[in-house]
Amino acid sequence: MDIKTIFDNNKKWVDEKLGLDKDYFKNLSEGQSPDILYIGCSDSRVTAEDIMGIQPGEAFVHRNIANMVPNTDLNVMSVIEYAVKYLKVSHIVVCGHYYCGGVKAAMQSADLGILNPWLRNIRDVYRIHQNELDAITNEEEKYKRLVELNVQEQCVNVIKTSVVQTAFRQRGIAVHGWVFDIHSGGLIDLNIDFPKLLENIMEIYYLD
């Protein structure tokens, strides 16, 4: 890709926005109040705004390899804290996607250096759900199921945080687990029952 094209594209985009609303950037510069925190994969094919059909200002976005929420990762933990406590989002979405390279890598035994500790979090998801996953004989189906279970476990990681538990008690906040199906372009809601999930882990992870 010619980098110059990007600047040409940007100019076109600015003109297009101003053509529709001359105050577009003036309004945008006044602040943000997104209603959704979106945590997705860094995969170049899965861009948050495009798949959700939303505009700048509508979602606070965090992306990393395989849409992970490791509880010791200062980056994702800061994003959650800021989005929930200060931006006061009403929804937190963890969105995975089928054919995720990060999940695929975690299913193989290759030593990938600095990626090992990151991918180990996905191997932990496999271990938690080993009985179910080992029972799936079709490799592609197993791969897809691990993508789904990884989203579910990252939702659990979101719920483990005190800021989310407090927001749930004080004003109600919803946590959603989705999968983007690259093959069809469709967004699948895993219909994770957030209050039930919270109840299930309450005994161990409840923070007051």
Examine residue 41 and tell whether it contacts Co ion (CB under 5 A).
Answer: yes
Is residue 43 part of the contact set for Co ion (CB under 5 A)?
yes
Which positions are catalytic? 41, 43, 45, 97, 100
Shortest spacing between CB 147 and Co ion, in angstroms:
8
Q: Which stretch binds Co ion (CB under 5 A): 20-28, 33-41, 159-167, 200-208?
A: 33-41
| Contact range with Co ion by CB under 5 A, out of 35-43, 69-77, 159-167, 180-188 | 35-43
Q: Are 72 and 17 in contact (CB under 8 A)?
A: no
Give 104 or 129: the residue with its C-beta nearer to Co ion.
Answer: 104
Which contacts qualify for 80-86: CB closer than 8 Å, 24 or more apart?
80/37, 80/158, 80/161, 80/163, 80/164, 81/161, 81/163, 83/34, 83/37, 84/37, 84/163, 84/164, 84/167, 84/173, 85/163, 85/167
Contact status: 153 vs Co ion (CB under 5 A): no
Ranges within 88-107 binding Co ion (CB under 5 A): 100, 102
Residues found near Co ion in the complex (CB under 5 A): 41, 43, 100, 102
